[in-house]
């Protein structure tokens, strides 16, 4: 599913690498934690996978497709199969929950009735179907993150990338959010979750890829 | 296809509804820039109209030592009328010259009593075709006529013509430079205003890109919005420049035209009005394209 070969990434010439000679293989349907201290390269790895950054060296294959050689015209189509969740949610504050979750489907040119149906089902799945017409700022942090996850899941992604999705949330909300990721994984989505929340890893043990200063320091499956 | 078009229109309208202040700023900027541009264009167009009216008076008068024989006169007329610059040749004999002089003197015409008409020389008045009403053409004709010793003197208002042509050149160059400068200034201001609107929506642009929107999908509504701002700004500019035209040009220039016997002060013709709206649309589009290049990177 995801393969990285000798991937190097540095943001400035002569500066230390954000990622250094990284080799990884993540099979389809896997659930992987990417851990490490701040600056370890977790976010950089995710950015490389949704083509927000290009590696300086090495190759990245997603579903057999070499995305390091992908032209900018093709990147949107890769992202249509990839759900992305951020720590700061990245929701549109001037749009309702329904509109936020419908956004990726509108972009893909889906029919209106199809969008309505799918968005309602997805919001129901994350427990927010009663707040369809609320705006993000009318919700709690945990609810906003659930909307962001709904937006990522509404496209039935092959891969779900989450960058510190529970960084600002308390433990109860974090547990709910993790349930959503586990559910997506159970339906066949490959999940890569960047976190330094050791408690979560202890509670839901899955494969852990640990990075430090851009290098792979640990890769184990409990 | 229809769904996509409806969706695009909805997004444009939503954008306008959600940022009324920035939209008004963009429209206002286009309106102000184009009003100034149009007002200056109106001044240039009307002064040129005045100038072209004056240029109708350009003619060469060739004075004759002696009144010519009818056959000779016929020969000269044919010779001159065959010149490519010449539109018409009028023979003015001494009596006609005296009559004109007398008319011009008006109530003082009795001063001419006792004078013989022969004191005034006969002359040929040579008028030019519209495209040859210039000092250069007048000089060319005079140079050819000077080869004939029967013409003693020529008058074609050399000094006046020179000044008049310099004025016309200055008007054209000045108008052109000012027009280009104002257009670039308008483009710069419009571009920056649109950049502000895009900056306010940078989150939306980023999210669109992250959820798989193509560059064209992201840019099209903003381009349409830019074009719409430009068109609305141009329509306001049309109204604004018409108001300025009524207030300043109608009164100011009209009195000048009236004194000089010229025509009326004119507003933009319908095709010029369409050109103004097209300019507004192009300004909005270019402003959007330049700003989008900075904000939309996939």
User: Which pLDDT value is given to residue B120?
Assistant: 83
Which CATH number is correct for A2-12+30-220, 3.40.50.1220, 3.40.640.10, 3.40.50.300, 3.40.50.920? 3.40.50.300
**Nearest CB to A94 within list B3, B4, B18:** B18
Are both B37 and B184 inside the same structural domain? yes
Q: Which residues of A touch B207 (CB under 8 A)?
A: 90-92, 103
Name which residue leads in pLDDT, B96 or B3.
Answer: B96
Confidence of residue B297 (pLDDT cuts 50, 70, 90): low
φ, ψ at A65 (rounded to 5°): -100, 130
**Nearest CB to B298 within list A76, A94, A108:** A76
Average pLDDT for A51-67: 93
Confidence of residue B1 (pLDDT cuts 50, 70, 90): low
B155, B182, B211: which is the final residue of a domain? Answer: B155
Are both B201 and B126 inside the same structural domain? no
User: Which pLDDT value is given to residue B191?
Assistant: 80
- Condensed to tens digits (0 to 9), the pLDDT of residues B126-144 reads 888 878 877 788 888 888 8
Name which residue leads in pLDDT, B106 or A114.
Answer: A114
Q: Which residues of B touch A114 (CB under 8 A)?
A: none
Q: Which residues of A touch B203 (CB under 8 A)?
A: 90, 92-93
Are both B29 and B79 inside the same structural domain? no
Q: Does B66 touch chain A (CB under 8 A)?
A: no
Average pLDDT for A27-31: 95
Q: Does B131 touch chain A (CB under 8 A)?
A: no
Cβ-defined contact of A76 to B214 (cutoff 8 Å): yes
Q: Does B210 touch chain A (CB under 8 A)?
A: yes
CB distance A161 to A87 below 8 Å = no
Average pLDDT for A49-54: 93
Q: Is B259 a residue whose pLDDT tops 60?
A: no
H/E segment holding residue A45:
helix A42-49
Q: Give chain B's domain count.
A: 2
Q: Is A83 a residue whose pLDDT tops 90?
A: yes
Cβ-defined contact of A109 to B213 (cutoff 8 Å): no
Q: Which residues of A touch B209 (CB under 8 A)?
A: 76, 79
**Nearest CB to B217 within list A84, A107, A111:** A107
Q: Is A87 a residue whose pLDDT tops 80?
A: yes
B155, B172, B200: which is the final residue of a domain? Answer: B155
Cβ-defined contact of A90 to B3 (cutoff 8 Å): no
How many DSSP H helices and E strands does chain B contain?
Answer: 10, 4
Cβ-defined contact of A92 to B215 (cutoff 8 Å): no
Cβ-defined contact of A76 to B203 (cutoff 8 Å): no
Let me know how long chain B is: 298
Average pLDDT for B145-165: 76
Q: How many CB atoms lie within 10 A of CB A199?
A: 12
Confidence of residue A15 (pLDDT cuts 50, 70, 90): low
User: Which pLDDT value is given to residue A5?
Assistant: 95
Q: Is A151 a residue whose pLDDT tops 90?
A: yes
Distance from CA of B284 to the nearest CA of A (A): 25
Q: How many CB atoms lie within 10 A of CB B61?
A: 16
Q: Is B287 a residue whose pLDDT tops 90?
A: no
Query: For residue B286, what are its two tokens?
Result: 């270019």
What crossing angle do the helices spanning B158-200 and B202-210 adopt, rounded to 10°?
60
Q: Is B111 a residue whose pLDDT tops 80?
A: no
Helix (H, G, I), strand (E, B) or coil at B193: helix
CA gap A1, A159 in Å, rounded: 9
Are both B43 and B121 inside the same structural domain? no
Q: Does B200 touch chain A (CB under 8 A)?
A: no
User: Which pLDDT value is given to residue B131?
Assistant: 80
**Nearest CB to A77 within list B3, B203, B212:** B212
Query: For residue A104, what are its two tokens?
Result: 């990726």
Task: Give ipTM to 2 decimals.
Answer: 0.88
Confidence of residue B72 (pLDDT cuts 50, 70, 90): confident
Are both B94 and B6 inside the same structural domain? no
**Nearest CB to A103 within list B4, B211, B214:** B211
CB distance B245 to B45 below 8 Å = no
Name which residue leads in pLDDT, B158 or B220.
Answer: B220
Cβ-defined contact of A73 to B3 (cutoff 8 Å): no
CB distance B87 to B58 below 8 Å = no
CA gap B27, B18 in Å, rounded: 15
Confidence of residue A3 (pLDDT cuts 50, 70, 90): very high
Number of residue pairs across A and B with CB atoms under 8 Å? 53
User: Which pLDDT value is given to residue B263?
Assistant: 63
Are both B86 and B170 inside the same structural domain? no
- Condensed to tens digits (0 to 9), the pLDDT of residues B7-27 reads 788 878 877 887 788 788 888
User: Which pLDDT value is given to residue B260?
Assistant: 58
B155, B187, B213: which is the final residue of a domain? Answer: B155
CA gap B228, B236 in Å, rounded: 12
Q: Is A158 a residue whose pLDDT tops 70?
A: yes
User: Which pLDDT value is given to residue A153?
Assistant: 93
Q: Which residues of B touch A79 (CB under 8 A)?
A: 209-212
Are both B148 and B167 inside the same structural domain? no
Burial of B58 (0-12, 13-18, 19+ CB in 10 A): buried
Are both B36 and B112 inside the same structural domain? no
- Condensed to tens digits (0 to 9), the pLDDT of residues B25-61 reads 888 888 988 898 888 888 878 877 777 676 666 788 8
**Nearest CB to B213 within list A107, A111, A112:** A107
Q: What is the CATH number of the domain that holds B122?
A: 3.30.70.3040
Distance from CA of B197 to the nearest CA of A (A): 15
User: Which pLDDT value is given to residue A212?
Assistant: 93
Q: Best interface-test mutation with B: which of A51, A67, A73, A76 has the largest number of B CBs within 10 A?
A: A76
User: Which pLDDT value is given to residue A184?
Assistant: 93
Are both B46 and B67 inside the same structural domain? no
Are both B127 and B217 inside the same structural domain? no
Query: What are the residue ranges spanned by the domains of chain A?
Result: 2-12+30-220
* Residue range(s) defining the domain that contains residue B234: 2-54+163-295
Are both B261 and B149 inside the same structural domain? no
User: Which pLDDT value is given to residue B96?
Assistant: 86
Q: Best interface-test mutation with A: which of B212, B217, B293 has the largest number of A CBs within 10 A?
A: B212
Are both B142 and B205 inside the same structural domain? no
Average pLDDT of chain B, as a whole number = 82
- Condensed to tens digits (0 to 9), the pLDDT of residues B203-258 reads 888 899 999 999 888 888 888 888 998 999 999 999 999 999 888 887 776 666 65
């Amino acid at each position: 599913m995801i393969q990285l070969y000798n991937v190097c990434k540095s943001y400035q010439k002569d500066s230390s690498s954000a990622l250094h000679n990284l080799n990884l293989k993540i099979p389809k349907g896997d659930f992987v934690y990417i851990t490490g201290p701040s600056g370890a390269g977790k976010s950089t790895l995710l950015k490389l996978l949704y083509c927000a950054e290009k590696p300086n060296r090495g190759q990245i294959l997603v579903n057999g497709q070499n995305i390091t050689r992908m032209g900018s015209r093709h990147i949107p189509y890769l992202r249509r199969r990839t759900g992305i969740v951020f720590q700061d949610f990245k929701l549109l504050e001037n749009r309702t929950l329904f509109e936020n979750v419908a956004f990726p489907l509108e972009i893909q040119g889906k029919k209106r009735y199809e969008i309505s149906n799918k968005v309602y089902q997805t919001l129901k799945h994350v427990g927010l179907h009663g707040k369809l017409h609320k705006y993000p700022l009318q919700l709690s942090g945990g609810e906003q993150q659930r909307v962001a996850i709904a937006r990522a899941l509404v496209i039935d992604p092959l891969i779900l990338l989450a960058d510190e999705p529970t960084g600002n949330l308390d433990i109860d909300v974090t547990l709910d959010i993790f349930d959503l990721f586990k559910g997506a994984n159970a339906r066949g989505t490959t999940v890569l979750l960047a976190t330094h929340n050791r408690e979560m890893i202890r509670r839901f043990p899955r494969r852990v890829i640990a990075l430090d200063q851009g290098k792979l320091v640990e890769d184990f499956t409990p | 296809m229809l769904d996509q078009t409806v969706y695009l229109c909805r997004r444009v309208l939503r954008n306008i509804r959600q940022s009324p202040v920035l939209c008004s700023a963009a429209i206002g900027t286009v309106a102000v820039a184009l009003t100034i541009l149009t007002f200056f264009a109106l001044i240039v167009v009307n002064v040129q109209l005045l100038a072209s009216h004056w240029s109708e008076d350009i003619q060469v008068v060739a004075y004759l030592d002696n009144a010519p024989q009818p056959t000779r006169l016929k020969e000269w007329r044919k010779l001159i009328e065959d010149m490519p610059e010449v539109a018409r040749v009028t023979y003015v004999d001494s009596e006609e010259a005296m009559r004109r002089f007398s008319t011009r003197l008006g109530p003082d015409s009795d001063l001419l009593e006792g004078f013989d008409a022969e004191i005034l020389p006969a002359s040929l008045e040579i008028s030019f075709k519209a495209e040859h009403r210039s000092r250069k053409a007048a000089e060319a004709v005079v140079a050819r006529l000077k080869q004939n010793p029967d013409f003693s003197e020529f008058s074609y208002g050399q000094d006046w013509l020179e000044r008049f042509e310099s004025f016309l050149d200055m008007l054209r160059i000045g108008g052109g430079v000012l027009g280009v400068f104002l257009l670039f200034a308008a483009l710069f201001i419009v571009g920056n205003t649109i950049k502000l609107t895009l900056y306010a929506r940078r989150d939306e642009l980023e999210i669109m890109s992250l959820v798989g929107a193509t560059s064209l999908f992201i840019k099209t509504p903003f381009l349409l919005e830019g074009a719409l701002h430009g068109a609305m700004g141009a329509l306001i500019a049309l109204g604004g420049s018409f108001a300025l035209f009524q207030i300043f040009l109608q009164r100011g220039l009209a009195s000048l035209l009236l004194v000089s016997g010229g025509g009326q002060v004119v507003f933009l013709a319908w095709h010029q009005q369409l050109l103004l709206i097209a300019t507004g649309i192009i300004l909005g589009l270019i402003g959007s394209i330049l700003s989008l290049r900075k904000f939309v990177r996939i």
